[in-house]
Amino acid sequence: MPNPVGIYKPTTYINKLLPYAMLTPVVSYTTVREVKGPLIVIERTRGVSYGEIGEVIGPDGEPRRVQVIEVATDYAVAQVLGGTLGLPAKGSTVKFYGRTLKIPVSEQLVGRILDGKGQPRDHMSLPPPEDFRDVNGEPLNPYSREYPEEPIETGISAIDGLYTLVRGQKLPIFSGTGLPHNLMAAQVVRQSTVRGSEEEFAVVFVGVGIKTEEALFFMDEFRRTGALRRAVAVLNLASDPVAERILAPRVGLTIAEYLAWQLGYHVLVVITDMTNYCEGLRELSSGRGELPGRRGYPGYMYTDLATIYERAGKAHGRKGSVTQFPILTMPHDDITHPIPDLTGYITEGQLVLSRAMWGKGIYPPFDVIMSLSRLAKDAIGEDKTREDHKDVANTLISAYSKALELRSLATLVGERNLGWRERRYLRFADAFEQKFIKQGYYERRSFEETLDIGWDVLSILPEDELTNARPQITQKFYRRHIFESVKL
């Protein structure tokens, strides 16, 4: 029976469709010492490898997939990729297959809904596999990496105009509880594209530890708008086992890498919420009895996050690319919290959502000053987007920064005591937030439309204030009739 999300829960029969059921176990153990949450401890092991896949069979005869996460000279710890309810230590048998976890991949996965283990959730069987890929991926040799320089058009002005997303980049969103990051994730999945009709584009959406109502929203939105036709959805619900939460991003990235490196797709991977992933990592670490690091998170969390984020990029001689757009919620809106802090070190920038902007009724509520994209400068301008793109982005950010300072001054001395130029900046700031940043949920803007709106709000300022734009660009695009129509 389908669950309330309308999503199929895999059964033992589906498990048998995967290749491990056809393998002969290399070794079996009946020496399970302890079952502790999602972990099992096996004693007197020999030759078991880290990451090796197997299954544990309890007295009820039901097989449960396991993966080794710690090895020593005489014991191994494995995480159960499923529930451990009713699984006792005594009477359980563990079988190992001598290989790592691989999932079947195929171009026909586009348009499908899977769970965190790569099994179907949409009432249909898996398509015939074209290959089996290790979920841990195959890291790109740094020498073979190609510098990202081609933009992705998300249709959101605050991203496209100011902090352009680049093919092969990893650009996270730092959000907070109650902010509309899920709306933004759905809008990016629905609207994103690459310029050029000859380019194949696909989206892999990964929900990590999301609630049932969130899963309902995403699936209804993707089906209703047709976004699912070019997307692969990997959903791990909050009610699913924590070990599956650790696996879900890797399953999504494995599918993305196959589409990109083998089939030449430009793939955008949207992951929400990486905070749930890190909480699952902390839970597993605590279950293993490891010494906690900062705020209780494991000391290796930086390395673990890097194994996910670094699976983005472009490669010389290959047409496709993998771009990551992860979303995380900052606990207590604290950008110095270990999760956003470590993420910021690994990724090429961040887009920060503002609770103050959201309180003004502005969607998407970007904090323009706190946001950053380190690769945007190389992906905009002539031959990539419109010739004035760099000028618009630099000038908007610079002018808005000055306008925010003048807003603070106006609260102290009063707006009437400011000069006419300062009052122009205040009008610019209002127009920038209400016309450029603010955008409808179903409103899609091209690069050209975004830049035209940018010039509309910049033209509120005197032309000689636009010092971050080249004179020939200002002369070509500045709208003097807008400057003359503004009332102070």
Note whether 250 and 342 are same-domain residues.
yes
Listed residues 350, 378, 406: the one ending a domain:
378
> Given this model, what pLDDT does residue 25 score?
67
Note whether 306 and 226 are same-domain residues.
yes
Q: Give domain status of residue 1, yes or no.
A: no
Longest dimension (CA), the chain: 84
> Given this model, what pLDDT does residue 256 score?
96
Range of the domain at 395: 389-485
Note whether 140 and 174 are same-domain residues.
yes
> Given this model, what pLDDT does residue 143 score?
87
Per-residue pLDDT tens over the stretch 332-347: 999 999 999 999 999 9
Listed residues 359, 378, 397: the one ending a domain:
378
Note whether 331 and 472 are same-domain residues.
no
Q: Give domain status of residue 2, yes or no.
A: no
Domain with residue 79: its CATH number is 2.40.10.170
User: What's the CA gap between 415 and 429, in Å, rounded?
Assistant: 14
User: What's the CA gap between 172 and 351, in Å, rounded?
Assistant: 6
Place of tokens 């009008």: 427
The upper half-sphere exposure of residue 66, i.e. CA atoms within 13 Å in the direction of its Cβ, equals 36
Note whether 148 and 284 are same-domain residues.
yes
> Given this model, what pLDDT does residue 197 score?
58
Note whether 78 and 183 are same-domain residues.
no
Per-residue pLDDT tens over the stretch 184-229: 999 999 999 988 756 789 999 999 999 999 999 999 999 999 999 9
- Whether 171 contacts 163, CB under 8 Å: yes
**Residues with pLDDT less than 50, the chain:** 1-22
> Given this model, what pLDDT does residue 7 score?
42
Q: Give domain status of residue 368, yes or no.
A: yes
Question: Residue 143 is which amino acid?
Answer: Y
220: tokens are: 């209804």
469: tokens are: 């734009």
Note whether 168 and 281 are same-domain residues.
yes
Note whether 171 and 94 are same-domain residues.
no
Helical (H) or strand (E) element with 27: strand 27-29
**How many structural domains compose the chain?**
3
Strand pairing class (321-329; 75-80) = unpaired
Note whether 347 and 413 are same-domain residues.
no
Question: Residue 218 is which amino acid?
Answer: F
Query: CA 40, 43, 48, 51: dihedral to nearest 10 degrees?
Result: 20
> Given this model, what pLDDT does residue 138 score?
76
> Given this model, what pLDDT does residue 404 score?
96
Note whether 288 and 403 are same-domain residues.
no
Residue 84 CA: distances (Å) to CA of 67, 121, 200, 202, 243: 14, 21, 42, 36, 11
Note whether 284 and 321 are same-domain residues.
yes
Residue 101 CA: distances (Å) to CA of 6, 89, 133, 137: 27, 23, 8, 10
Q: Give domain status of residue 5, yes or no.
A: no
Q: Give domain status of residue 442, yes or no.
A: yes
Listed residues 40, 67, 100: the one ending a domain:
100
Note whether 373 and 410 are same-domain residues.
no
Domain with residue 308: its CATH number is 3.40.50.12240
